[in-house]
């Protein structure tokens, strides 16, 4: 009796396996969802409990609070869905890749374009193009942030929560006054001159946490975007085999500033905590970081801090390009595993979480850098002045954003060599030579 029972089960199991194998055989071309969303029929199982595993950034207030808010909202909206959180830390998505390799991908995961590229090639991520949820989400994006959602290959892989972030040049008003430097600084020459004045007064002109390479790229990109709005995108536009002229010019500008003593001698071994502490304790006059620094800058320095637009080779270029943002939006956000058992629900939940965490950032924190338009009012009362300036002056005038580099070998080469530029003995020629080698590969 028992053995026949087992055999029957084995038979059923074998059949389901075959069925699922043939289903897989259809391959990536059949990404089209079988049920197209809103019609009543697909909601038949709405009362069934669905458990979804979500791998999301969740390690400090900045990351945990928006997520937790979104999950609370989800309970009201889709009470049948239960979220199991697997908290992610910043590890370059190493662990997520291991999950993919071992077939353990969570239903929903938060990741960036680098990972999405490999996941799309290996069919670990659900292509979202044809879902109604996607169309709705896309229709509701803030202007200028399409690149956060639609990948360079034309597909949608993830629902973005943040908008396109960008790096600003923060400065200490008192120190500038004391050193007799008038703002805004419009040209590279003025910046170099200011550096010398600040140094003479015993300040570190600009603190940069150049131990992290992305910030050296951002620093370089600040000047490159003045020359060409797409920034480091010039290294990929039209597949150049040699470093484009605009990129050489920007390298020369960075070198010039480095030689003028703009940066601390220990810059390439300075971490964020050191660099920001230098700026906040009044040891350095300027700081470069993303717009997210506004909150702590205002908290630590009150009215004594502001940001300026990036200087360019001459005033004309400065005026033309000042609203060209030094930041690029690669696709990033909540993606859905193609291996999930509840893909359709997961797609809706992913979009919902993305939207609601954006809502939290916008309403509670007063942060305008979010991907979807939020129609709820801002409830935050103590929005930093710089944040207001962003909302009223900058974002409405923003002319465009840089273009992200897709090819990893090129982006790592840019990271390495922009860091190199900040060190004595590394010349612009070396920069060009190294970049040419990376480009010719």
Partner 1 sequence: MKKALGVLYQVPLWIYFIVSVYPLVWMISYSLKNNDEIFSTNPFGLPTHFRFENYVTAWSQFNIPKYFINSIVVSSIATVFILLFALMFAFAVARLTWKFRNAVRIYMLVGMFIPLQVIMIPLAILVRDFHLSNTYGALIVPYIALGLPFSTMIFYGFMRGIPTEIEEAACMDGANIYRMFMQVIMPMVMPAIATVAIFQFLTNWNEFTLAYILISNEAMKTLPLGLLFFQGQYSTDWGGMGAVMTMASLPMIIVYLFFSEQVERAMTVGSAVKG
Partner 2 sequence: MRQYLGNKKAILFFLLPAMLIYTVIIIYPVLQTVYRSFYNWDGLSEATFNGLGNFRDLFTDPLLKTSLKNGGIFALVLVVFQIGLGTILALVCADVKVKGRKLLKTAYFIPVVLSVTVVCQLWIAIYDPTNGLINRLLQMLGIPYQQHWLTSPTKSIIAIAFVNAWQFMGYQFALLYAGVKSIPEQYMEAATIDGCSKWKAHWKVTLPLMKETYKFCFTIAITGGISAFTQMLIMTNGGPGTSNYTMTFMVYRYAFLESNYGYACAVAVVLVIISLIATVVINKVFDRNEAV
Nearest-angstrom CA–CA distance, 204 and 192: 13
Whole-angstrom Cα Rg for the chain:
25
Position 214 contacts partner 2 (CB under 8 A): no
Position 89 contacts partner 2 (CB under 8 A): no
Number of residues interacting with partner 1: please give it, by CB under 8 A: 28
- Cβ at position 218, least distance to partner 1 in Å: 14
Residue whose CB is less far from partner 2, 273 or 382: 273
In contact, 340 and 126? CB cutoff 8 Å = yes
Position 3 contacts partner 1 (CB under 8 A): no
The region of 93-101, 305-313, 324-332, 407-415 touching partner 1 under the rule CB under 8 A is 93-101
- Pairing state between β 305-308 and 284-290: unpaired
- Cβ at position 312, least distance to partner 2 in Å: 26
Q: Which of residues 238-277 bind partner 1 (CB under 8 A)?
A: 271-274, 276-277
**Which residues are within 8 A (CB) of 236 and not within 5 positions of it... i.e. 6 or more apart?**
403, 405, 406, 407, 410
Position 86 contacts partner 1 (CB under 8 A): yes
Q: Which of residues 55-84 bind partner 1 (CB under 8 A)?
A: 57, 59-60, 62-63
Count the Cβ atoms, other than its own, within 10 Å of residue 281. 9
Q: Does residue 259 sit in helix, strand or coil?
A: helix
Position 104 contacts partner 1 (CB under 8 A): yes
259-262: Cβ within 8 A, 24+ apart: 260/192, 260/193, 260/195, 260/196, 261/195, 261/196, 261/199, 261/205, 262/191, 262/192, 262/195, 262/205, 262/206
In contact, 184 and 312? CB cutoff 8 Å = no
In contact, 330 and 112? CB cutoff 8 Å = yes
User: What string marks each residue from 92 to 131 as x (binds partner 2 by CB under 8 A) or -?
Assistant: x-x--x--xx------------x--xxx-xx-x-------
In the chain the first and final C-alpha atoms are separated, in Å, by: 66
Given CA atoms 389, 391, 397, 401 in this order, what sign does their dihedral have?
Answer: positive
The region of 90-98, 124-132, 149-157, 395-403 touching partner 1 under the rule CB under 8 A is 90-98
Q: How far is CA 405 from CA 152, 236, 415, in A?
A: 10, 7, 11
> Which one among 135, 173, 174, 283 touches partner 1, defined by CB under 8 A?
283
Position 267 contacts partner 2 (CB under 8 A): yes
Nearest-angstrom CA–CA distance, 41 and 369: 37
> Which one among 252, 293, 344, 415 touches partner 1, defined by CB under 8 A?
293
Nearest-angstrom CA–CA distance, 402 and 221: 9
Q: Does residue 368 sit in helix, strand or coil?
A: coil
What is the greatest pairwise CA distance in the chain? 95
- Cβ at position 407, least distance to partner 1 in Å: 22
User: What string marks each residue from 400 to 429 as x (binds partner 2 by CB under 8 A) or -?
Assistant: --------xx--x---xx-xx-xx-xx---
Position 122 contacts partner 1 (CB under 8 A): no
User: What string marks each residue from 359 to 398 as x (binds partner 2 by CB under 8 A) or -?
Assistant: ----------------------------------------
In contact, 171 and 182? CB cutoff 8 Å = no
Positions touching partner 1 (CB under 8 A) are 57, 59-60, 62-63, 86, 89-91, 94-95, 97-98, 101-104, 271-274, 276-278, 281, 283, 292-293
Positions touching partner 2 (CB under 8 A) are 92, 94, 97, 100-101, 114, 117-119, 121-122, 124, 211-213, 265-269, 408-409, 412, 416-417, 419-420, 422-423, 425-426, 437
């Amino acid at each position: 009796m028992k053995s026949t029972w087992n055999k029957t089960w084995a038979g059923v199991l074998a059949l389901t396996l075959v069925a699922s194998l043939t289903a897989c055989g259809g391959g990536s071309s059949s990404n089209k969802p079988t049920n197209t969303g809103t019609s009543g029929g697909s909601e038949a199982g709405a009362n069934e409990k669905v458990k979804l595993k979500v791998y999301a950034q969740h390690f400090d207030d900045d990351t945990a609070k928006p997520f937790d808010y979104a999950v609370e909202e989800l309970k009201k909206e889709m009470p049948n869905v239960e979220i199991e959180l697997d908290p992610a830390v910043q590890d370059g998505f190493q662990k997520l890749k291991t999950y993919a390799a071992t077939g353990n991908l969570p239903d929903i995961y938060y990741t960036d374009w680098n990972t999405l590229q490999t996941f799309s090639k290996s069919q670990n991520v659900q292509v979202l193009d044809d879902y109604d949820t996607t169309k709705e989400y896309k229709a509701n994006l803030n202007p200028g942030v399409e690149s956060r959602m639609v990948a360079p290959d034309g597909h949608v892989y993830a629902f973005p929560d943040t908008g396109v972030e960008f790096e600003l040049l923060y400065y200490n008003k008192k120190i500038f006054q004391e050193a007799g430097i008038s703002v805004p600084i419009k040209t590279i020459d003025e910046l170099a001159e200011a550096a010398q004045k600040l140094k003479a007064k015993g300040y570190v002109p600009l603190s940069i946490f150049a131990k992290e390479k992305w910030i050296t790229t951002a620093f370089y990109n600040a000047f490159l975007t003045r020359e060409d709005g797409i920034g480091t995108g010039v290294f990929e536009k039209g597949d150049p085999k040699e470093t484009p002229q605009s990129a050489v010019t920007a390298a020369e500008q960075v070198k010039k500033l480095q030689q003028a003593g703009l940066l601390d001698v220990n810059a390439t071994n300075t971490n964020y905590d050191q660099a920001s502490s230098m700026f906040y304790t009044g040891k350095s006059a300027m700081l470069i970081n993303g717009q997210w620094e506004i909150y702590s800058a205002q908290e630590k320095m009150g009215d004594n801090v502001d940001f300026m637009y990036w200087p360019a080779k001459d005033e004309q270029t400065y005026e033309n390009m000042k609203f060209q943002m030094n930041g690029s939006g690669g696709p990033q956000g909540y993606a859905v595993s193609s291996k999930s058992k509840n893909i359709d629900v997961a797609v809706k939940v992913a979009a919902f979480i993305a939207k609601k965490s954006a809502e939290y950032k916008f309403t509670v924190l007063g942060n305008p850098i979010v991907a979807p338009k939020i129609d709820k009012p801002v409830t935050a009362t103590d929005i930093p002045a710089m944040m207001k300036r962003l909302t009223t002056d900058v974002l409405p005038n923003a002319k465009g954003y840089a273009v992200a580099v897709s090819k990893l070998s090129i982006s790592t080469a840019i990271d390495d060599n922009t860091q190199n530029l900040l060190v004595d003995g590394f010349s612009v020629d070396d920069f060009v030579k190294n970049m040419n080698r990376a480009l010719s590969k």
